[in-house]
Structure 1
Amino acid sequence: MAGKTRRHWPAWMTALLLAAQASASVPHPENYAGTDGLEGPALAQTLQAISARGHRPLSYKAVWDLLEETDQDPDRPGYIKTFYSRKSVPKHCKSGKGGRRCPHVWNREHVWAKSHGFPGQRQWAYTDGHHLRAETERCNSMRGNLDFAEGGDEIERCKARRVANTSWEPTDEVKGDTARILFYMAVRYDGDPRDNTPDLDLVNHPTHTGQPQFGKVCDLLKWHRLDPVSLSEQRRNDIVERRQGNRNPFIDRPDFAERIWAASCPATAGQPATPG
């Protein structure tokens, strides 16, 4: 779940950032009663209970229909917008059904790679709509199960950078989206046997296949700050809630990420600047 180490910013800096983020997006304040004043593991545990409430697991087949709605290209009816590569692809050009006339074929990308904790379809995290996104087969394969971190060689077709066998850096447009997806997964799944999913944990070091861990949390926190919650994320959160029954709290309340992970990360770009 959340990291255990603590490192405090100056009180004025923390208060300024949390106030700004808390006021940025609170469409469902009633959902988060009991979170005031909590930080670190205590807040993460409370959010686990909140995000689990009402969750109805989807079938993996149902995810196709979900993505056709959540990842709809707002500018082109009948098309989806892929997550990393930002391509507009006809909805019918999906994996296993795309014909020769489809220049790109899309499939279901697990942003938290399923090989990191939940390889089976009966595990709730496997079909969790909050972290499944539409992506081209090519870019889904190139990303594989790499951690998220900054740096690497440019992969132009995927609008990303990759360090071979190590990490993936998505385009700036979805860096915050990526971070908030992973924050959600880390608090939603804490090893509850009813979810048939192990305790998922965000760390700040490279991870390995089979481990229920993902990184790098400090890069993710930086991305969360630099790419704020968008209207499309809020719309997506509403749709997933309607179909699956629960919400991503980090979209509703961006300040939660700071209150859980900021003390575990060194100073990074994106923090409030010290007044001159």
Structure 2
Amino acid sequence: MKLHLILCFFCFSLVSFSQILVINEIDVDTPGIDDKEFIELKSESPNFALDGYILVFFNGSSSGDDRSYMTIDLAGSVTDSNGLLLIGSANVIPFPQFLISENVIQNGADAIGIYEASIFDFPEETLATQTNLIDALVYDTSDSDDVALMNLLGVTEQINEGSSNNTNSIQRNNDGTYFSGTPSPRQLNDGSGIIFNGVTIGITENQYNEGESLNITFTTNTNVTSDLNFTINLDNNGFNTTDYTGNISLTIPSGTNTTSTILSLTDDSDDEGDEVLIIKLLDLVEPIIPSNNNIAVRVVDNDFTMAPWGKPITPTFGLVQSTQPGGYYDSLDGLADSELRQALQDIIADPNTVRAQTYNDVTDILKAADQNPENSNEVWLVYTEQGRPKLDFQTTSDNSGKWNREHTYPRSRGGFFNIEEDDVVDGPDIFWTTKADSLRHGNSDAHALRAADGAENSLRGNQHYGEYTGPSGTLGSFRGDVARSVLYMEIRYNGLEVVNGFPSTNNEPLGDLATLLDWHRNDPPDDFEMNRNNVVYTWQLNRNPFIDQPDLVEYIWGTNVGQQWVQPLSVVDNSLNNVQIFPNPIENTITINGLTQDTQITIFSLQGLKVYQSNVNNNTPFTVDLFSGLYLLQLNVNDKISTRKIIIK
């Protein structure tokens, strides 16, 4: 019994008082968007190799249940000449020796533990434990103590960094206690040790065009005592030494603290897309260290391509043909009501054919499906009706000027959710088998995901369409597109429904059906939408039938419910494809070319009001007197109808 007690006390002492490696400082909450968080470890001896050690982060919230949410393998890392290892994002100054993403450390009450273990010992949601624990810190930002988490880790005090958006960090005293004070990353907390001389990279702009010059300065905190020779590297993905010329081997002369270089960015004829070069400092030896590093500079490619079809606000029709396989919709012919619905679902949710991709794969899908027809380096944003560089995809909590993935059928109403594998980007040939009951796969169904301005996406939230009608001042060119996407979702997945009205709770169906039907009728599929249908098909091997066969909407929800569906002949669909309307945008005179006989022209407002009607001949100009805005022009020849969007200036 005595031996047992002694051994238990010895194990507890190892957990509580080991000095091999400790948590020296942590800053979990920084002003703004928490992009300067860091953790600093301290080894008993300098230049200590951290192979065999891991850092585990525990979630102390009620939903986290004191379980792990992130684990870092420290293998390959070595502490510096002060025994310190700084772990943080690229925004931390001085530049961390170990990089992590921005805004990933939770504010508390939470904990961090150092373990002598393998990362495989701590899969996500592992309960906090003292097994193989070297050091632990339970902390908060003015939160109540998490006694259970403290007990699990064998610590007796929870340390408060300060209230929300504080400017403090938690720092370890030499006696093992902690205090909250001004952050001192990569510096001993008592002010002793080697004081490092940091090199700061300076640029005047974050974006340049091909053919322009990039001026980079390098400045140390204090004058160097001997010539400081170092090199830089700019390579990043496809950007390499063929994309610039200039000196990248530099010297800061003894007794000074600055030098600079001018690099010429190559203006080639290749359509490489916009690229990002990364300025990286190489060859620095302590006590010289990077103050900042990995500085991103965008290089805008002027060799972008343009598609022959128009943007949604200047649409074209008939230039992009559906890539549906022959007979894709033949099984629908002669069916009505529930039989028509079921046959359509059997096509677009066929588990023997249809593929589900990861949520991160969707980012690549949207870069192609929502590509701006006028600039191949941009995506076209739903709702705000504008192009945005593909490089501006949102990767942090800051959505200003960024684009992200908008669920037209909101996740909270559909019951979609992420799983860990959704973080993987593995391309079109690695996929999940999916069926009509695979509701979770609605999370990454690209037919109902669109590139959207990050801030506008947040503003829409999970509002019903009709409650949400888009930003003021826009043309509403997205309305038919989102209508067809959410109607597709109702047929594709069991458990989803589009209804009249505005259900009040999050998990209710999506509304408003009447609004969406009007949007579908007044904003018919254009070339942009047909192209995105074709692109998504190459990944998912299913199509949005309401783009290929828009009249199906009327047979399922609209004016033809109960009637048997008969697939239109392709000759009818294509008979008016060669008709051209010009100019567009229009001031007051319209000319229509390509008509072979008298044609009835009807113009509707986006609200469905008939504002003009006349009969015209080929190439005969006619005048309209309409307010500025977006309208629908309908051509009717022998009961064959084609609808085009026009803009009145």
Band of TM-score, shorter chain: 0.7 to 0.9
After superposition, the C-alpha distances for 1:85-106 in whole angstroms (9 at most, x for unaligned) are: 012111111111699xx96100
Q: Equivalences for 1:39-118 in 2 at 5 Å? A: 39-53=336-350, 54-96=353-395, 104-118=401-415
> For residue 414 of structure 2, what is the amino acid of its counterpart?
G
After superposition, the C-alpha distances for 1:206-259 in whole angstroms (9 at most, x for unaligned) are: 124442511111111111111111111111111101011111111111111000
Query: 2:539 corresponds to which residue?
Result: 243
Q: Equivalences for 1:97-246 in 2 at 5 Å? A: 104-122=401-419, 123-149=440-466, 155-156=471-472, 159=474, 171-190=475-494, 199-211=495-507, 213-246=509-542
Q: Is residue 557 of structure 2 the alignment partner of residue 261 of structure 1? A: yes
How many aligned positions are there? 223
- Is the 2:332–2:343 contact (alpha carbons within 8 Å) kept by the matching residues of 1? yes
The separation in 2 between residues aligned to 1:261 and 1:182, in whole angstroms, is 13
The separation in 2 between residues aligned to 1:107 and 1:33, in whole angstroms, is 36
> For residue 116 of structure 1, what is the amino acid of its counterpart?
R
The TM-score normalised by the length of structure 1 is: 0.73
| Structure-2 change in CA distance of 1:263 and 1:156 (3 Å) | closer
The separation in 2 between residues aligned to 1:89 and 1:103, in whole angstroms, is 12
- Give ranges in structure 2 of 5+ residues lacking alignment: 1-320, 420-439, 562-606, 611-633, 635-649
The separation in 2 between residues aligned to 1:213 and 1:134, in whole angstroms, is 23
The separation in 2 between residues aligned to 1:180 and 1:65, in whole angstroms, is 22
The separation in 2 between residues aligned to 1:237 and 1:227, in whole angstroms, is 16
Query: Runs in 1 of length 4+ with deviation above 3 angstroms?
Result: 25-29, 154-157, 268-272
| Structure-2 change in CA distance of 1:182 and 1:66 (3 Å) | same
The separation in 2 between residues aligned to 1:264 and 1:218, in whole angstroms, is 15
Alpha-carbon shift at residue 35 of structure 1 (Å): 1.2
The separation in 2 between residues aligned to 1:185 and 1:87, in whole angstroms, is 25
- Give ranges in structure 1 of 5+ residues lacking alignment: 1-24, 160-170, 191-198
Query: 1:34 corresponds to which residue?
Result: 331
Query: 1:18 corresponds to which residue?
Result: none
After superposition, the C-alpha distances for 1:158-198 in whole angstroms (9 at most, x for unaligned) are: x3xxxxxxxxxxx43111111110110010012xxxxxxxx
The separation in 2 between residues aligned to 1:270 and 1:224, in whole angstroms, is 15
Query: 1:196 corresponds to which residue?
Result: none
| Structure-2 change in CA distance of 1:80 and 1:151 (3 Å) | closer
The separation in 1 between residues aligned to 2:357 and 2:453, in whole angstroms, is 22
- Is the 1:225–1:270 contact (alpha carbons within 8 Å) kept by the matching residues of 2? no
> For residue 45 of structure 1, what is the amino acid of its counterpart?
Q
Q: 35-44 or 110-119, which moves further after superposition?
A: 35-44
> For residue 175 of structure 1, what is the amino acid of its counterpart?
R
Alpha-carbon shift at residue 150 of structure 1 (Å): 6.6
The separation in 1 between residues aligned to 2:559 and 2:496, in whole angstroms, is 19
| Structure-2 change in CA distance of 1:132 and 1:270 (3 Å) | farther
- Is the 2:415–2:507 contact (alpha carbons within 8 Å) kept by the matching residues of 1? no
DSSP-derived class of the 2:391 partner: coil
| Structure-2 change in CA distance of 1:175 and 1:136 (3 Å) | same
- Is the 1:40–1:261 contact (alpha carbons within 8 Å) kept by the matching residues of 2? no
DSSP-derived class of the 1:148 partner: coil
- Is the 2:479–2:519 contact (alpha carbons within 8 Å) kept by the matching residues of 1? yes
The separation in 2 between residues aligned to 1:120 and 1:150, in whole angstroms, is 24
| Structure-2 change in CA distance of 1:147 and 1:34 (3 Å) | same
> For residue 156 of structure 1, what is the amino acid of its counterpart?
S
Alpha-carbon shift at residue 40 of structure 1 (Å): 2.6
The separation in 1 between residues aligned to 2:609 and 2:560, in whole angstroms, is 15
The TM-score normalised by the length of structure 2 is: 0.32
- Is the 1:112–1:182 contact (alpha carbons within 8 Å) kept by the matching residues of 2? yes
Alpha-carbon shift at residue 155 of structure 1 (Å): 3.4
DSSP-derived class of the 1:147 partner: coil
The structure, 1 or 2, with the larger RCO (C-alpha pairs under 8 Å, 6+ apart) is 1
Percentage identity across paired residues of the two chains: 34
Q: Which has the larger radius of gyration?
A: 2
Query: 1:166 corresponds to which residue?
Result: none
The separation in 2 between residues aligned to 1:40 and 1:215, in whole angstroms, is 21
Give the number of the structure whose residues are more often helix, by fraction: 1
After superposition, the C-alpha distances for 1:110-155 in whole angstroms (9 at most, x for unaligned) are: 0000101223125100000000000111100110000011787x83
- Is the 1:179–1:221 contact (alpha carbons within 8 Å) kept by the matching residues of 2? yes
Query: 1:7 corresponds to which residue?
Result: none
The separation in 1 between residues aligned to 2:335 and 2:537, in whole angstroms, is 25
- CA RMSD across the alignment: 2.8
DSSP-derived class of the 1:258 partner: helix
The separation in 2 between residues aligned to 1:128 and 1:222, in whole angstroms, is 24
DSSP-derived class of the 2:334 partner: coil
The separation in 2 between residues aligned to 1:246 and 1:238, in whole angstroms, is 9
The separation in 2 between residues aligned to 1:26 and 1:270, in whole angstroms, is 30
